Amino acid sequence: MGALLIFEYDAQAGGARPALLRQVEDLALACKGRMHFVATERDEGSGIRELMAVDLATGVDADALVARCRADPALPEGVTIRRLVLEDVRSMEPIEPLFP
């Protein structure tokens, strides 16, 4: 099974996005992961937050990668990292008709 890393940070904090993009670029060049999405959450109380999701290839040590990200001095304080283990789910949806 693969894993998905979710990074969440203040969109106005300078340096968070470029630092994370460098990490994702290194993963992509090593064929260990790829960017899945970047999303923005606008909350009246806490401002604008960004979420960045990174798909990790099967076999990549997600815990080691999280530790490496947290040790990066270019990564500002306040970036939260969540690691999700992906599971296969069989769809229970009806099969689409072959012909309209």
Q: Quick: pLDDT tens for 20-60.
A: 898 899 989 999 999 999 999 887 777 889 999 999 988 88
- The full DSSP string for 61-84 is -HHHHHHHHHH-TTSPTT-EEEEE
CA distance 43 to 29: 35
Residue 100 predicted with pLDDT over 70: no
Average pLDDT, rounded, for the chain: 85
Which CATH code is given to the segment(s) 3-85?
3.30.70.260
pLDDT recorded at residue 96:
67
